[in-house]
Amino acid sequence: MVTQSISCPKCHTQITIQGTPGQHQIITCPACGTKGQFMFPASSTPQPSKGQTCIEVSHLTKKYKDTIAANDITLTVKRGEIFGLLGPNGAGKTTTIKALLGLIRINAGTITIDGHDIYHDGVEAKKHIGYLPERVALFDNLTPIQTLKFFCELRGEDPAQIPGLLKEIGLTDASTRKVGGFSKGMVQLLGIAQVLIGHPSIYILDEPSSGLDPRWTKVIRDKIRYLNDTGATVIFSSHHLSEVESLCDRAAIIDKGRLIAQDSLAKIQSVVQTKPRLEITIPGLQGKTPKILQGLTGIISLIVKGDTITITCDQSLRGKIIALLEEADYTVSNIKTIEPSLEDAFIKLTGGKTQ
């Protein structure tokens, strides 16, 4: 008998459950009534403790004909954390992920997963990995059931979990149709189902919410949190900064094949020292910049949009700005301070646009 503490994917209530290793159990959350399936990790694969190094990439370099897709990238992912790989399109995120899985030959560097070198001991290294490619492609003439059965067999997992997986992604009704007739979104969902086969301990997700409609974006975020709560390590790439900000413990920023920063989110934000922005709403402003603010020293940027002025400036200047506006008889209805987002950090670091 094993005791496991999990958190509800919907309301995050902690639930303590008991079962035998490898057993599937239907669990109902006592707080919100959400039902879910949980599989106890098989006893042969004990969950190693958190905080140990899980994925280690050192000095990864990959050159294509005339571009360097990855240039001396070194990063470490610790067990049990959610790690974000952030960068614009074409920055080298997919190259890094493909190297992690041994899918591409690299020019220099080493990659180890759970201590196994991916190029020398690939089968062992990939045993507990679930991988979601950016653009999932499957086999046109197979049905979802046949597809998932194939992947179950490859991972040595019980195909009894297939109906549950299909239900989770909402493809139960299409389970006997050929995948060739599926929409892109349906194929992507089936790709998500194969990631979950056998509850891997490491998830490598390349742009997990790309190709899906927004309603799934939230589902995937919740799922990533849930998987992480059950002890899994998640590494995912994204160019959606909000996604990384809301999910990750740590992140790496990659641009033009180079690693620009790698640290906890708070540190990344503090390192670049992006200043908070001040958002002031003045009813009836209608896009006109108040004269008293024009040319005021200390203002880094000033944007007026409708009735809202967004100002980036030193903290010390804030009181003065408000006072000046009130002196000039502007009615300030709302003042908001916006903390620097990763987007600001990102733009500052790369000197470019996010997308």
What residues make contact with other proteins under the rule CB under 8 A?
98, 101-105, 122-124, 126-127, 129, 131, 133, 135-142, 146, 150-151, 153-156, 178, 191, 194, 204
- Which residue, 232 or 272, has its beta carbon nearer to other proteins? 232
Cβ closest to other proteins, residue 155 vs residue 221: 155
β-bridge partners, 161: none
Residues contacting 82, CB < 8 A, separation 6+: 224, 225, 228, 233, 234, 235, 236, 247, 248, 249, 250
CA-CA distance, 143 to 175, in Å (whole number)?
A: 6
Nearer to other proteins, 153 or 314 (CB): 153
Min. distance of Cβ 124 from other proteins in angstroms? Answer: 7
Minimum gap (Å) between residue 256 Cβ and other proteins:
20
The answer to whether residues 285 and 119 touch, using CB atoms and an 8 Å cutoff, is no
Nearer to other proteins, 204 or 342 (CB): 204
Residue 71 CB, shortest distance to other proteins, in Å, is 17
Q: Are 26 and 36 in contact (CB under 8 A)?
A: yes
How many Å apart are CA 311 and CA 279, to the nearest integer? 6
Distance of CA 231 to the CA centre of its chain: 16
Q: Between 114 and 344, whose beta carbon lies closer to other proteins?
A: 114
| Cα Rg of the chain (Å, integer) | 24
Q: Based on CB atoms, which residue is closest to other proteins, 75 or 101?
A: 101
Nearer to other proteins, 191 or 257 (CB): 191
204/325 with CB nearer other proteins: 204
CB nearer to other proteins: give 6 or 202.
202
CB of 262 to other proteins, least distance (A): 24
Cβ 137 to other proteins shortest distance, Å: 4
CB of 147 to other proteins, least distance (A): 9
For 320, the token pair is: 């003065």
Determine the Cα–Cα distance for residues 212 and 232; give it in Å rounded to an integer. 23
Nearest distance in Å: CB 151, other proteins: 7
CB of 278 to other proteins, least distance (A): 46
- In DSSP terms, 279 is beta-bridged to 310, 336
Which ranges in 64-183 belong to alpha helices (H)? Answer: 93-100, 122-125, 144-155, 162-168
> In terms of DSSP bridges, do strands 129-132 and 202-206 run parallel, antiparallel, or are they unpaired?
parallel
Helix (H) or strand (E) run with residue 344 in it: helix 342-350
E-strand ranges in the chain read 2-7, 14-19, 24-28, 35-39, 53-63, 68-78, 82-86, 108-113, 116-117, 129-132, 202-206, 233-238, 250-255, 258-264, 277-281, 299-305, 308-313, 334-338
Q: How far apart are CA 237 and CA 84, in angstroms?
A: 6
Q: Based on CB atoms, which residue is closest to other proteins, 154 or 338?
A: 154
Contact 94, 134 (CB under 8 A): yes
Q: How far is the CB of 288 from other proteins (least distance, A)?
A: 52
CB of 275 to other proteins, least distance (A): 42
